[in-house]
Structure 1
């Protein structure tokens, strides 16, 4: 029997440059580990791609999401749509993610999409692993990370303060990629919003696998 081959490439539509910096390398770590556990065949996983509506970008957010997906349809097998939760992730999902997904599916009914909605900001996901701070600030660093990062009123402010207190002079946004590359996945899994994202990403991988044609 011919073993099936699954090709995966995620297209990420995010809110801002720092979100791309953090989430793209994080996706590149998550996809291989999840695919290996979920798919019995051979997996080929390409580097995740930051996507946006092609210029001139017009219309509301839903239309821009749909345009971004249509523009990268032939390059990506699934699409991650990020929105900061601003303290109410369910509302952010309804207003900032679902309309774009619905608009995209009218043009591309088979689009596989994954919401990525932290409770407040993605910076909360950077406050779970002291080892990344030690990589940046020195092995003796002892930052007082919050015990419940998703309850932080302003995770971005907390992240900046911890880095400044540790002697970091660069703007936090410049080191977001390192957090995406290094933050512990096990530590992230203590956060409910991340667990939901990972579960929905797993469902998307399974959907991509089901869409494969049966071997001839």
Structure 2
């Protein structure tokens, strides 16, 4: 008999939701397949109704709504809103929420994480993976990853940018992504939350 695990996510915008929704689901599957004594059925990531660019109270209310259906919730913010995810966690702890809420915060922007795996870009015809940093961990040293993302994606027959967030989220090598320090920190915190919930 399998045990369900439903992750929730609040992110800054639609493209972040598209990338991180896949990554959260895949990473939880990888963690539970490797470390659980149980068969864990990781369900698709539930996306909240509020973007995290809103104020902490509204984000907190959206987390509480997700908590009714989810076992753990990730709250994403980019660097310029870094403190908001932590503020939401503190706010909800004060309200007695027992569902783990895990900040998911890149050093700069989510777009940097899309650039961590050269091989996934090399598999896209017309892309230019030579524009990527040599090591996955170096993507977070980019002052502005958005122009790099624009330059690396195929230039002819261009699909909407959001399609790449979906594709990379579904196919990025999680081991390459785990070499990015901020992502590795999120994985470690998520692992601890799964242990606390009895999944690992």
TM-score, structure 2 as length reference: 0.87
CA shift at 1:142, angstroms?
4.7
List structure 1 segments (4+ residues) > 4 angstroms apart after TM superposition. Answer: none
Candidates 67, 76, 80, aligned match of 1:82: 76
| Within-5 A mapping of 1:64-143 | 64-86=58-80, 92-93=81-82, 95-138=83-126, 142-143=129-130
Aligned to 2:44: 47
Matched residue SS, 1:137: coil
Distance 2:122 2:84 in 1: 35
Matched residue SS, 2:74: strand
Candidates 163, 169, 172, aligned match of 1:183: 172
Distance 1:97 1:168 in 2: 37
Matched residue SS, 1:111: coil
**1:133-190: CA deviations, max 9, x gaps?**
233325x8553211311100111111012225x4352332232010101111111122
Aligned to 2:195: 206
Alignment of 1:160 onto 2:150: yes
8 A Cα contact 1:11 1:80, kept in partner: yes
Candidates 147, 150, 154, aligned match of 2:140: 150
Alignment of 1:33 onto 2:30: yes
Aligned residues: 195
Matched residue SS, 1:12: strand
8 A Cα contact 2:131 2:151, kept in partner: no
8 A Cα contact 1:14 1:20, kept in partner: yes
Q: CA RMSD in A?
A: 2.4
CA shift at 1:76, angstroms?
0.3
